[in-house]
């Protein structure tokens, strides 16, 4: 599974502040996934935290 | 719009001034929430109170104009606050990198030094006024620092801003003489330093923006509009939020002691206080056409207010809506707005607050409200804030 930041992102920064293991900030303060966003079963809760925490519904988990 | 959709009767004439906001925001916002997802207040303005409703307004800037909502506030257009799409994106493309966390990191050391200096000025006294001795001073210093201006200008800037904010009345065009005078003085001051920086650039944010060329070059009026936005949106907001945080920490000593022992709790506690106390409690827009929100129709050309304090207590989103609960700190409150106008200064504001709380606690870990002090806010207001918050604390032993 993979996390994805969609074009709805407006740079609240909740994903990379709360889940630095899966996201980082770009130079404009918008969220980007680390690497290609792939994560293992152990990180599913972290990924969900990012999904629920994003006020723009910009974080998605894709299979 | 079909007839059917307009059938739900919208509550009207809701009187805001009598809400118990001054003392108890939980009760105040809950009462407003219970009026309904959308209601008309006694000034005829439309209020939206649910999390999803507020997000809908934020995320549809073509239906809900900021330009028309903010254009009564002086002659220069506030940039990017009062700009609608498509122009808005051009400004944010330039400004976002300047206010990104990476830039904020670079200022950390200097801002910490300044916060420490402010706290040191009263730490030996055994008492302070958290608003007047600290929370009001620091954000203005941050503004001056970022713009490469002398810290000596702090007090006069604060006075202009105080006058402007005190005399502005939401939803009306009334401009008092002293408001006009303060606005003009601030505008003259800004115009002067913009010109000075254009001629002799420094290593500051202003000079960085002025250095852009070609289609990214900003006119003097655009620069003025941005300075106006920063001053209007970036000073009182942090001051007031700091007030709410210190009030919470002063009145919840157990939490405060935990925060001091476990420094990683500082951020979640600040987030939760921000959620419960959005200092810009009702953010305005004007509808560009008839539009349906949560099943209610709002006519074209209406003033719509996003009630952030209500949305931030929406039980659909926050399981423990009325309490500071660090478990909820990552659930995405709306105190910094959302959509294209998401607070440009949110990363800076969060850092400012963390720095001030940490530097205060480093010097003054034990404190409480002075006996008899009962900080209250004025309501309704564009920015809600405590004006004063006397604290008392043990004086540290002389070194
Ligand atoms: C805790 C402190 C702060 C709070 C609660 C806050 C809140 C907000 C909110 C709710 C908005 C959205 C307004 C709207 O949708 O119309 C906003 C926008 C804005 N804020 Fe803040 N703010 C804070 C601090 C700051 C700081 C420190 C700055 C400094 C630069 C700043 C600059 C701005 C600007 C320029 C905008 C307009 C953004 C745009 O329209 O694209 N704010 N703020
Ligand atoms: S939390 Fe959402 S809006 Fe914020 S940076 Fe991450 S993806 Fe973007």
Report if residue B397 sits inside a domain. Answer: no
Which of B343, B347, B352 has the most ligand 1 atoms within 8 A of CB, as the residue to mutate?
B343
Q: Are residues B96 and A11, on separate chains, in Cβ contact within 8 Å?
A: yes
B3: confidence class by pLDDT, cuts 50, 70, 90: very low
| Probe residue for ligand 2, chosen from A59, A60, A61 as the CB with the greatest number of ligand atoms within 8 Å | A59
Is beta strand B282-287 parallel, antiparallel or unpaired with respect to B64-65? antiparallel
Supply the pTM of this predicted model. 0.93
Helix (H) or strand (E) holding B67: helix B67-70
Average pLDDT in the A5-10 region?
Answer: 96
Residue of A7, A21, A47, A55 to mutate, interface with B, max B Cβ within 10 Å? A55
* Overall average pLDDT of the A7-35 stretch: 96
DSSP label at residue B40: E
8 Å CB contact of A29 and B100: yes
| Interchain pair A10, B340: CB under 8 A | yes
Domain interval for residue B333:
3-392
Tell me: the pLDDT tens digits for B354-395? 999 999 999 999 999 999 999 999 888 888 899 999 999 998
All residues of chain A having their beta carbon less than 8 Å from the beta carbon of residue B346 are 12-13
- Region B195-208 average pLDDT: 90
CA distances from B174 to A2, B77, B95, B166, B182 (A): 54, 18, 31, 12, 15
DSSP string, B268-311: HHHHHHHHH--SS-EEEEEESS-EEETTEEE-TT-EEEEEHHHH
Mean pLDDT of chain B: 92
Contact check, Cβ <8 Å, B342/A30: no
Q: At what angle do helices B177-199 and B220-234 cross, to 10 degrees?
A: 120
- Residue B38: partners with Cβ closer than 8 Å, 6 or more residues away: B10, B46, B47, B48, B49, B53, B293, B294, B296, B298
10 Å Cβ neighbour count for B152?
A: 8
Higher pLDDT, B276 or B378: B276
In a domain, B87, yes or no: yes
Using the predicted structure, report yes or no on whether residue B4 has a pLDDT greater than 50: no
How many domains are there within chain B?
Answer: 1
Read off the pLDDT band of B7 (50, 70, 90).
low
Residue with tokens 């920064």: A13
Check: CB of residue B127 under 8 Å from CB of residue B391. Answer: yes
CATH number at residue B154: 1.10.630.10
Q: Is residue B399 part of a domain?
A: no
| pLDDT tens digits along B181-197 | 998 999 999 999 999 99
**pLDDT attached to residue B6:** 47
The residue with greater pLDDT, B231 or B173, is: B231
Nearest CA in chain B to A17: B330
Q: Taking 60 as the threshold, does the pLDDT of residue B203 lie above it?
A: yes
pLDDT digits (tens, 9 = 90+) for B123-180: 999 999 999 999 999 999 999 999 999 999 999 999 998 888 777 665 556 678 888 8
Judge whether B388 lies within some domain. yes
Could you tell me what percent of chain B has a pLDDT over 90?
76
Q: Where would I find the H helices in B201-276? A: 205-210, 220-234, 236-251, 253-261, 266-276
pLDDT in tens, B61-113: 999 999 999 876 556 788 999 999 999 999 999 999 999 999 999 999 999 99
CATH code that applies to domain A2-62:
3.30.70.20
Rg (CA), chain B: 21
ipTM: 0.89
| B344 within a domain of the structure (yes/no) | yes
Interface of B with A (CB under 8 A): 55, 59, 93, 96-97, 99-102, 267, 330-334, 336, 338-340, 342, 346-347
Write out chain A residues lying below 8 Å of B90, CB-based: none
Of B97, B102, B338, the CB nearest to A10: B338
């Amino acid at each position: 599974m993979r996390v994805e930041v969609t074009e709805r992102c407006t740079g609240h920064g909740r994903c990379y502040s709360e889940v630095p293991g899966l996201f980082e900030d770009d130079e404009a303060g918008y969220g980007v996934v680390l690497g290609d966003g792939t994560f293992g079963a152990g990180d599913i809760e972290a990924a969900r935290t990012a999904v629920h925490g994003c006020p723009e519904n910009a974080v998605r988990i894709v299979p | 719009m079909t007839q059917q959709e307009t059938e739900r009767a919208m509550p009207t004439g809701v009187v805001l001034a009598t809400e118990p906001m001054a003392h108890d925001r939980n009760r105040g916002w809950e009462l407003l929430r219970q009026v309904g997802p959308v209601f008309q207040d006694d000034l005829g303005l439309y209020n939206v109170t649910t999390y999803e409703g507020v997000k809908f307004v934020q995320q549809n800037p073509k239906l809900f104009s900021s330009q028309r909502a903010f254009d009564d506030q002086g002659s220069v257009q506030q940039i990017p606050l009062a700009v609608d799409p498509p122009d808005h994106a051009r400004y944010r493309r330039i400004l976002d990198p300047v206010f990104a966390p990476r830039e904020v990191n670079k200022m950390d050391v200097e801002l910490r030094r300044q916060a420490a200096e402010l706290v040191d000025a009263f730490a030996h006294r055994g008492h302070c006024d958290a608003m007047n001795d600290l929370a009001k001073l620091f954000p203005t210093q941050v503004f001056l620092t970022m713009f490469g201006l002398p810290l000596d200008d702090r007090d006069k800037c604060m006075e202009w801003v105080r006058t402007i904010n005190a005399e502005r009345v939401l939803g009306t065009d009334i401009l008092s003489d002293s408001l006009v005078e303060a606005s003009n003085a601030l505008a003259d001051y800004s115009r002067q330093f913009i010109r000075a920086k254009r001629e002799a650039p420094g290593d500051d944010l202003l000079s960085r923006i002025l250095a852009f060329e070609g289609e990214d070059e900003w006119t003097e009026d655009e620069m003025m509009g941005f300075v106006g936005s920063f001053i209007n949106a970036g000073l009182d907001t942090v001051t007031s939020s700091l007030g709410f945080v210190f009030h919470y920490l002063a009145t919840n000593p157990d939490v405060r002691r935990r925060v001091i022992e476990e420094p990683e709790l500082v951020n979640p506690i600040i987030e939760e206080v921000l959620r419960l106390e959005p200092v810009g409690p009702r953010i305005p827009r004007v509808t560009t056409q008839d539009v349906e929100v949560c099943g209610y129709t709002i006519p074209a050309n209406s003033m719509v207010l996003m009630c952030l304090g209500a949305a931030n207590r929406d039980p659909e989103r926050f399981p423990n809506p009325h309490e500071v609960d660090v478990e909820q700190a990552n659930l995405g409150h709306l105190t910094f707005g959302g959509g294209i106008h998401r607070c440009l200064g949110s990363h800076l504001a969060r850092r400012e607050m963390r720095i001030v709380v940490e530097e205060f606690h480093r010097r003054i870990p034990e404190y409480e409200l002075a006996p008899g002090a009962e900080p209250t806010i004025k309501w309704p207001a564009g920015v809600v804030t405590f004006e004063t918050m006397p604290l008392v604390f043990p004086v540290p032993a002389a070194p």
